[in-house]
Structure formats: structure tokens, C-alpha cells
Structure 1
Amino acid sequence: MSLKRQVASSLFWVALSQLFGSGLTLVTSLIVAKLLGPAALGLVGMAGLAIAALQYFQNIGFDAALIYRRDEVENASHTAFVTVIASSLVVYLTAVLAAPWVALFFREPAVTPILRVLALTILISSVGRVPAILMERELNFRRRILPELTANAIGSGTAIALALSGVGVWSLVWGQLIGTTLASALVWFVTSWRPRLRFRPQLARELFHYGKHIVGSQTLIFLITNVDNAVVGRYAGDAALGFYSFAYNLSNRPATQIASVLTRVMFPALAKLSSSAVEAAEARARYYMTIVHYVTWLTAPIAAATILFAPEFIYGLYGPEWAPAITPLQLLAIYGFVRSIAANMGSVLRAMGKPHWLTAIAIWRLATMLATLYPVTKLWGITGVSWLSAIVAVVDFVISATLVGKVVDAPWRAYARILIPTLAAALVAGLLAHWLYPFLPLAKTAWRLLAAGVVLVILYGALVWLADARLRAAVAAGFAYLRRWYRRC
């Protein structure tokens, strides 16, 4: 199968997984937030913050190193398997021992048992990590995705059922634990690779030499994207963190999940190009700008809808007690949109052997956040934190795009040709849909919001269709592919 067809197939399966998984997660979050309230979400957010921090040290960058590696992949895989499990055990024990200190930091004793149970996900997920990465390396996302789909469905269903049964905050904990266990177990049913307890120090050093930059940049990115949660939870309390994390997840999940579909496929695809094709430079630029185009098409209307309809959504579905989440929801939609585009820049730099550039960008962002976050939080609360996150994300986009332009042919005029008409179409469609919203003949807010969303999508699609020749060509190619597939069936 050609690389182009591999990429197309991978995009389909990853999109299916992300759409299904993120949809379930979003529905679960909305239902559980309604049932449990912001304080419970804040408690799980505090424990989840610690777990997410420790997970960056779980595979010590070996996943990206395996995808990038050119030789001795089989032996490197066995070495990575042993190393990842060993490091995960250390990280798990660290989480268990550090749980009381995390609770002390947040001034919430209830965080200790929650964190200790959630820490099991670190150990459990390590068992299936390497075979999953090997499937991604070969762009075999069809098999890679099946365990994710099953685990997401059962984990989300468990969390909702337990929340409805009155289990409280533990419904989210057990849902995550069951989902992680299933995902790690089921991956072994779809892969033919079997590990050997073989460890080669030289291969481990080579994997770590590449992976250390990934760990460094990812750890810094984690700190950047979560230091706000830590400061809000510490100085504003669990309820404020519940409002903020609710707004963050709701505004960021659609945009970042769509971007993740493309990013997961883009890195291994570009890594293959960077080592084989003579015309790789042109191919990389073409793939990259196509991805930027697709991400912008999909995420611009989501950001516009979130910004314009946030008050109607919060007041109509959650009531005035959730009003503090409205402005953060709107501001973080800008953050999510910019982040969705910038996320693909990291794939380019990693595939081109420039992970240290990502580390440098992340250091700048972290320094900026650390210098400004505390005074902003004390003066303006979660609204100020949301403004800060949006501004830093825009500046980061400018820096990242400049660096990407040094390794692929991606000038600023290429971004302008994509962003300006797409954002204009999303804004016009969003404003028209928002103007029509009060006149929609539907009594329930949920149905009215859904109808307004349909109107926005139709208007946006029509405007972009008229303005964007590439969209028309892509749709035509998609229908042609479906016709060929139908004839073969």
C-alpha cells in the first residue's frame, strides 16, 4: 500500500476513534458535571493533574523514539518494553508515596485516596504501550483503534452508571480505571508482536538520546498547560478549579481532539518521508499545509460556536450557578483553536529531528506562565487566567510557525490563504446563527442549541464551499474514493 493510501486509511480510523471517544468523554463530562457539581470535578481534576504529570515520565520518550528509529527496530522494541514497565513501576510507587503531599498542596485530604487508585492506570497502561506504538509506527491504525473504541465505551458507560447510582466522585475514578485496563488488555488481541525480556543498554541509550528531547518538551508543555490548574486549585479552591476545568475541557476538547486525529498520523508519515523519498521536502510541505488546512476547516466553526453560544449553553443547560464558567469558556475557545493548529507543528519538528526546538519553545512558554500566573490569578481569578492562556497561545503559534518555516516550505502567506477566508466564514456563519437563535420555534434549550448548530454548519459549509477550491477538490476526491470502494464491495 502506498504511503498516501496508508495515510488516508489511518486518518479514517483515527478520526473514528477520536470522534467516538471524545464524544463519549464529552457526554460523560456533561452528565457527571450536572450530577456531581463543580467541587467533585475539582477533586478529580486535582488528582488527575498529578497523574498526568507523572505519565510524562512513564515511557521516557521511547514511543516517539521507536517511531523515528530506522534500524534494529525489533530489538529496540524489546528493550523499550522492559524499560517502560520498569519506569512505570517507579512512577506508580512515586504517585502512591506522594499522594499525601499532593493533597497537602491543594489543601484537600480527599485527594489522597483518589490519587492512589488513579495511579494504577499508570502501571496498567504500560503493559500495552509498546505494541500499540509499533502499530502506529507502521500506520496500522485500524487494529490500533479497536481496543480504544471498546475501552472508551465501557469506561464512559461505567462512569455514568455509577454517577447515576450515587457513587459520587468515585464514579469518574472507577470509569477511568476500567477503561484503561480494557484498553491495555485488548491491544494484545490485535497484535502479532510478542515481547521478549531482553534489555540492551546500548539500544536503551540510543532511544533515550532521541526520546529525552521529547520528554523534555512534553514535560514542559504539560507544565504550561496545567500550571494554571495547579495555581487555580491552590489559591482559588476546588469549586473555582471545577468551573475552570469544565470550561477548559469543553472549549478545548473538540478542537484538540480533531487536531489529534491528524497529528497521530502525521508524525509517523513524515518520519517515513524524511528517510526515503528524494522529493521528501516537497512532500513534507504538501502534507503539512494540507493538515493545517483540514484542521482549520474543522475547528474554526467549533471555536466560533463556543464563543457565541456560551451564555445560552451555560444558562440554559446548567443554570446561573455555573455562570463563572462562561467567560473562561469563550476565551479558552480561542486558546483551543490556536493550539489545534500549533499541535501539528510539533509533528513536523519531531519528524525532522528537531525535538530540541520544541523544548526551547516550551521553556519560553513556561517561563512566561510562571512569571505572570500568580498575580493574574490573585487579581482577576479564572477570567484573568483564561486571558493569559489565550494570549500566550497566540504568541506561541507565531514562534512555532516561524521555526517550521525553516525546515519546510511554509511561508506566512500560505497560512493567510487558509486562515483568513476560513475564519471569516466561521464568524459570519456564527453571527447569523446566533441572530436566528431566538426565533427558532423550539421550547427546550438543548434542541434550540442543536438547531442553531445545524444552521451554523450549513451556512459555514456553503460559504467555505464557495470560497475554497481545495475543499471542492477534496470533497470530489472523497466521493470518488467512496464510489471505487462501493464498486469493489
Structure 2
Amino acid sequence: MTFSPGKATTRNVFWAYLSFASTKALNLVAIILVARYVDPVEFGLMAICLAIMGYFEIISQFGLGAALISAPDREEETANAVFICAMVISSTMAILLWALSGPIAQFYGSPALQDLLTVIAAALVIRALTTVQSSLLFRELRLRDKIVPDVVRGLTKGLVSIVLAILGYGVWALALGYLASAVAGSIALAIVRPWRPTGLPSVAMIRHVMRFGAHLIGAETINSTPRLLDNLLVGKFLGPAALGIYALAFRIPELGIKSFTTVAGSVLHPVMSKIQADPAELRIYFYQSLRYCALIMFGIGAAIAVLSGPLVHVLYSPKWYDMVVPMQIIAVAFAISTLNMVPGKLLKAVSRTDLLFRVSLINLPLFVGVIALAVPHGIEAVAAAQLVLAFVRFVPTFHALKRVMDINVTDTLRALGPALLCTGTATIATLVSLQLVEGAELTRLLTGAATFSIFYLTMLRFTVPEVFEAGSRVVLRRRRT
């Protein structure tokens, strides 16, 4: 059967997004409930832990999963090499984090951080046990099978956190929920996609996967800096309470936008890897991916931005209302990240992680400088720094992509045009409707959401009619069956 990139992408993005979004939705529900029992200071302490863990997780993963996904042949030997490298690197990172937990706690002036980091560091090793299983599901484009482990992970984290928060465990409700989700998710993943090492890989294969990951790990570490360094600096200079509000402002944008970015990227990478030998087809697929990802992400980002006020007032208690403006800015920044996600996945697919690393080195001084300048001005300024960086980082990425594929500014803008038109129209209409509607926040939220949906879908019908035609064909096929 001929491989169809479009069908493979649509099918697997649907299942992957359903899986990922269901997990994030469960987490969001849990956070909304936990936030009633846990203070911003405690959320801030956990945010510091997660930011530190973010760097350690990137290093422990070392791009090994991507090496297995991109491998053109010798799958089993590559999988064995990935498993051994994952266990060695993750164990080393866990031990290092245990050793550094004391100095980190002293740096932030919070003794509780030492115990928190010591406990959640175990998640590095737990997740490494199923690195191969997770990567094989992506390589085989079996994203439908990820739903069970992802839902198990989300349910476990939510239930443990909620119960412990009600019992008065404070920040430990979040930490133990995090660790429990790692254990439950790994067990479920091992059941869904069984795999075990079949032998020792050659030294050459170990060198290959390590070399593949070396550039990728550098690029991912640097590219994660805007999202992780901001938490570390806010926690240090503005305090855990400010960080708690700032971190919670990310939750809804992460569910609506970042989850799609993660899911779409995880599907685009293996699909692009399968067609990398055909430059013409790869170019067409790139622009199609950019077009449709922008249609989804720009729309969701704009909707969250314009509706964040009534949304926060409906879901959270007054102690969290300061998150509204940061959430608006973060939602737009996440939407703009489309411009970097799609090119990045293409460079991975063609094994040009060296270019990703070079781009990241160019961006690093800018990341650190902009965020450091923003921190003294509060969490709204830090959120604005994220938006600035989302735009700026696209420039070197675009130039790097031009080295491996024939792309230009005109075609790129043409691909983004429908998303900009639909989003702009729906945003203006929604802002007007919110000004005209008075009364309860829930009423304003529902009215705004309905207005945005109607105007966005109407513009989509005229600018990208093939989306509706494809939807109609799917519905007709379902009725016939």
C-alpha cells in the first residue's frame, strides 16, 4: 500500500491529540480543584522543581527517542542502544540531581526544595525504562495506542494530587502526584507496547545514537530556556508566590496550544522521515503542515487570549486573578511557536540536528538577555518576553531551513495567510461582543466563545473550503458504514 503523508498525519494527529489533550484536560481539572487547597507559594515551589527537572529530563533523554524514530534500518539494534544509553544517562542525571538538591534549596532559601527534588528525581529513571516503547509507537505511527497510558498517567496524577491536597499535604500533593503519574504511565506503556532488550548493541551503534542526540540535546536544552529559565528567575527574584501565579497562567494555554504543538510535532517528525528522500514531496508537505497547524494554533491562541478574563473568573478563586494578563500574552506566544515547531521537525527528519544546534547557539544570548531584563518588571513583563522571543527565534530557524529545502518568504506568508485572516476577524468580533455583554462572567464567557467560533468557522469556510469538503466526505463515509 502506498504511504500517504496527508492521511497518516491527519489520522495520527487526531489520536495523538486526543491522547495528549485528555491527559492535559484531566490535569487541568485536577489543578483547578487543587488550587482551592494549595496556595500560590506552594505552586511556586513545585514550579521551581519542574523547571529544574525540565533541564535534567532533556539531558537524560539525550535525543535518543528521536534517533530511533529517524533510524532508516536496523531498528532492533538501535532500540537496544537507545535503551542502554537512556538508562545510563537518566541514572546519572538522577544521582546528580540528588547531589545538587541541597545547594539548590540554599540558593532559593527554601529547605523544602531539597526533599522535593530528591523524591521527584526518581521520575527520570522511571521514564527511561519505557523510552524505547514510547519511541516505537511514534515510529510505527500507532498514536491511537498511546491513549491508554496517557489517560492512566493523567488520572493517576489528578487523583493522587486532589486527595492529598484535600488531606492538607500542600506542595507534596503536587510532588507525589507527579511521581505517581510517572510510575503508572510507564507500567501502562509497557503493557500497550511490549518490548524488551534482545542483546547488546555494537559500539558503533551506541556512538551513532549518541552522536545523533548530541546536537539535538544542545538545541533542545537551549530552546527550552525561555520556558524554564523564566521560572527559575521569577522564583528567585520575585518569589514563589509570584511564580505560582505565573506558572498557573500557563496551564490553559498549554492544554489548548502547547499540547497540539507537542502532538503535531511528534507526528510530523516520523511522517517527514518517511518522505525525506523526495525533496519535492517534502516541500509540499512542509507548507501544508505550516498552513494547517497555523489555522489550528492561531485560532486557539487568539480564543484563549480574548476569553482569558471571564475564563479565569469562572474557574479560579480571586487569589489567582492576577494570572489573566500573563495568560493572554502567553497564549499568543504559544500560537506563534508554530513558526518554529514545523521547521524544527523537518530538520530533525532529515537528520540536520547540527543546524538546530547552531540556531540555538545563536538564540541563547538573546533568550537569557531578554528574560533577565524582563524579570525585575514583574510576571507580565516576563510573559511579554516570551512573546518577543517567539517572533525573533524564527529568523535563524528560517535561514537554517533554507539550507536543506527550497523555501521563501512569499510562500511562507501565503501558507500563514488563511490563519491570520480567520483569527483576526474572529478576534475583533469577540472583543466587540464582550464589550456589549454585561452580567455574569459565565454568560460573557459563553457569548464570547460562541462569537469566536461562528466568525472563525465562517471565515474558514471561505478561505480554506477544502477543510469543510474533507469533513463532509468523512461524515458521508461514516453514514454509509
**1:197-229 CA deviation, whole Å, 9 max, x = no partner?**
524222100111111111111111122321111
Residues 224, 369 of structure 1: 8 Å contact kept? yes
Q: What residue number does 2:252 align with?
A: 250
What is the one-letter code of the residue matched to 1:217?
Answer: A
Q: What residue number does 1:260 align with?
A: 262
User: 2 CA distance for matches of 1:324 and 1:345?
Assistant: 35
Matched, 1:434 2:431: yes
Name the CA shift for 1:447/1:110 in 2 (closer, same or farther; >3 Å): farther
Residues 297, 335 of structure 2: 8 Å contact kept? yes
- Report the Cα offset of residue 45 of structure 1: 0.4
Give TM-score, length-normalised by structure 2.
0.93
What is the one-letter code of the residue matched to 1:298?
Answer: I
Residues 302, 423 of structure 2: 8 Å contact kept? yes
Q: What residue number does 1:365 align with?
A: 363
- Report the Cα offset of residue 482 of structure 1: 4.3
Q: What residue number does 2:62 align with?
A: 60
Structure 1 stretch 309-318 or stretch 26-35: which is displaced more? 309-318
Could you say what secondary structure the match of 1:263 adopts?
Answer: helix
Q: What residue number does 2:391 align with?
A: 394
What is the one-letter code of the residue matched to 2:469?
Answer: A
Matched, 1:312 2:305: no
Name the CA shift for 1:37/1:410 in 2 (closer, same or farther; >3 Å): farther
Q: Extract structure 1 runs of 4+ deviating beyond 4 A.
A: 438-441
Q: What residue number does 2:3 align with?
A: 3
Residues 102, 112 of structure 1: 8 Å contact kept? yes
Residues 308, 324 of structure 2: 8 Å contact kept? yes
Q: Name the count of aligned residue pairs.
A: 479
Q: What residue number does 2:336 align with?
A: 338
- Report the Cα offset of residue 292 of structure 1: 1.4
User: 2 CA distance for matches of 1:244 and 1:191?
Assistant: 37
Identity across matched positions, percent:
24
User: 2 CA distance for matches of 1:264 and 1:243?
Assistant: 29
**1:99-153 CA deviation, whole Å, 9 max, x = no partner?**
1122122221111111111112111111111121112112122223331122222
Q: What residue number does 2:444 align with?
A: 448
**1:378-437 CA deviation, whole Å, 9 max, x = no partner?**
2x1222222222112101123323332443343222232243442233233223223223
User: 2 CA distance for matches of 1:361 and 1:252?
Assistant: 24
What is the one-letter code of the residue matched to 1:90?
Answer: T
User: 2 CA distance for matches of 1:209 and 1:343?
Assistant: 22
Q: What residue number does 1:462 align with?
A: 458
Residues 50, 102 of structure 1: 8 Å contact kept? no
Matched, 1:472 2:476: no
Residues 303, 337 of structure 1: 8 Å contact kept? yes
Kindly report the root-mean-square deviation, in angstroms, between the aligned alpha carbons of the 2 structures. 2.2
Residues 256, 340 of structure 1: 8 Å contact kept? no
Q: What residue number does 1:483 align with?
A: 476
User: 2 CA distance for matches of 1:19 and 1:128?
Assistant: 21
Structure 1 stretch 356-365 or stretch 408-417: which is displaced more? 408-417
Give TM-score, length-normalised by structure 1.
0.91
- Report the Cα offset of residue 438 of structure 1: 5.5
Residues 335, 393 of structure 1: 8 Å contact kept? yes
User: 2 CA distance for matches of 1:453 and 1:200?
Assistant: 56
* Structure 2: gaps (5+ residues): none
What is the one-letter code of the residue matched to 1:107?
Answer: G
Query: What pairs up with 1:115-264 in 2 under 5 angstroms?
Result: 115-264=117-266
Residues 305, 331 of structure 2: 8 Å contact kept? yes
User: 1 CA distance for matches of 2:129 and 2:314?
Assistant: 44
Q: Tell me which of 345, 348, 359 is aligned to 2:346.
A: 348
**1:9-28 CA deviation, whole Å, 9 max, x = no partner?**
31221121122122222222
Q: Tell me which of 291, 294, 306 is aligned to 1:293.
A: 291
Q: What residue number does 1:45 align with?
A: 47
What is the one-letter code of the residue matched to 1:483?
Answer: L
